[in-house]
Structure 1
Amino acid sequence: MRILWLVLSIFFLSNLQAQEKKTLLINGDIFEYILDDCGDTIVLANFGDMTVTSRREFASMDEYNRYQRYRRYAYQVYPYAEKAIRIFKEVQRQTAEMRKGKRRKYTRELQDQLKNEFETPLRNLSKTQGMILMKMIEKEVKAPIFYLIRDLRGSFTAFYWNTLSGFYGHKLKDGYKRGKDSILDMVLDDVNLTYGSDEGPLPASIRLPKKLGKE
């Protein structure tokens, strides 16, 4: 029966793709739709990206407990990682054509807003929660936190934060390296930031400075 269901599903989907798609407006959103052989309307909608992983296996109970703890922490810091990545990508777009001086002026204007929004909750994170938050961001943007800070704020600032983070056992220059911590890899695979961080408006409390213009 499962094979029959699979064959029928594939056949049904291939028929849908072959039919001409039209659009309709539902609550202000535009959706594609098709008409089936009976004349009924079938609305088509796209789902966000999904990650399918294999069953988790652990060598010991200690590994399992660490996985559960990391996973719990990851979902606790997820909102901060999502907002940080969204803001970072928007700032990149806004400052892409600015010279260094104007870019730094722009980011300084934004810094006070970010401080008001995030300083208190981030200071309350544990060492492990902070590490997971950094690795989530680094995995998504594909760069160590150190270089993100350096590009936006300057080498001295990046060096300062790299040195400070070293006291807590983390080096911002190291970045996320897959394979270094298999439990962390599992957790970051479970938490998909790619879709959420590209969708929707910026946090209501964050107002990006107006473009300073080209020099």
Structure 2
Amino acid sequence: MKYVFTLLLFLFVLARGIAQESDKGKVTIKGQTYDYIIDAAGDTLIMAGLGEVSITSLRSFESEEDYKKYRKYRRYAYSVYPYAVEAVRIFKEVDAITNDIKKGQKRKYIKTLQEDLEEKFEAPLKKLTRTQGMLLIKMIERELDTPMYDLVKGLRGGWTATYWNVLGGFYGHHLKEGYIRGKDPMLDIVLDDLNLTYGQKKP
């Protein structure tokens, strides 16, 4: 047992000595290749880029009511965040794909897409609260800089957009209005902390 320990210790020291002979190199970790350097103390430092990070200052609120509203919005926004990211991706993808095709082909494509999306998202989306639904809509409108009414109209036509606008009105969702910065400061604060294009390929 002592022999094995001594051998491992020797191999460690040998490997460290070899590494020190080269100030930099490459190492593969879980299939990803990274550059590394050896500092003056002989420590190996792996050079890797970090993903996007959102840094915000401590919040201050004028009232307890504002603080509770912020906490509620923040909790609900993160719960619907994956759906917002997917919706933004789909809207952009559909716009790019159907931009140069005939109306008949566009309707057929969107109908097939709708059937796939209903199967995947209908059940979880039905469980959203009114506030969660509002946040989801505002997140999409803010990212695409377009009212939900216009997004639906572009995909399904004016009649469908009007139907959903009227129905949304019963739940306090005004789909023609769009996202208006400053109307709800707590909403602005929460949405400023979210990046819906994270992980998506930029054009």
Deviation at 1:142, TM superposition (A): 1.7
Deviation at 1:126, TM superposition (A): 1.3
Paired letter, 1:166: G
Q: Please give the alpha-carbon distance, in whole angstroms, between the structure 2 residues aligned to 1:82 and 1:144.
A: 17
State the partner residue of 2:194.
Answer: 191
SS at match of 1:173: coil
| Count of aligned pairs | 177
Deviation at 1:25, TM superposition (A): 5.7
Q: Unaligned regions of 5+ residues in structure 1, if any?
A: 1-20, 200-215
After superposition, the CA RMSD in angstroms is: 2.4
Check 1:43–1:110 CA distance in 2 against 1; reply closer, same or farther (3 A cut): same
Check 1:178–1:101 CA distance in 2 against 1; reply closer, same or farther (3 A cut): same
One of 117, 127, 132 as aligned partner of 1:129: 132
State the partner residue of 1:178.
Answer: 181
Q: Please give the alpha-carbon distance, in whole angstroms, between the structure 2 residues aligned to 1:160 and 1:80.
A: 22
Deviation at 1:34, TM superposition (A): 6.0
Paired letter, 1:136: M
Deviation at 1:26, TM superposition (A): 4.8
Cα deviations by residue, 1:18-70 (Å, 9 ceiling, x for unpaired): xxx99776544454x36567698754333222233232111110111111111
State the partner residue of 2:102.
Answer: 99
TM-score, scaled relative to structure 2 = 0.76
Is the CA contact 1:165–1:171 (under 8 Å) kept in the aligned structure 2? yes
State the partner residue of 1:202.
Answer: none
Does residue 51 (structure 1) correspond to residue 44 (structure 2)? The answer is no
Larger radius of gyration: 2
Identical amino acids, percent of aligned pairs: 53
Superposed, 1:147-166 pairs within 5 Å as 147-166=150-169
Check 1:103–1:46 CA distance in 2 against 1; reply closer, same or farther (3 A cut): farther
Q: Please give the alpha-carbon distance, in whole angstroms, between the structure 2 residues aligned to 1:127 and 1:176.
A: 16
Q: Please give the alpha-carbon distance, in whole angstroms, between the structure 2 residues aligned to 1:142 and 1:24.
A: 43
Q: Unaligned regions of 5+ residues in structure 2, if any?
A: 1-23
State the partner residue of 1:116.
Answer: 119
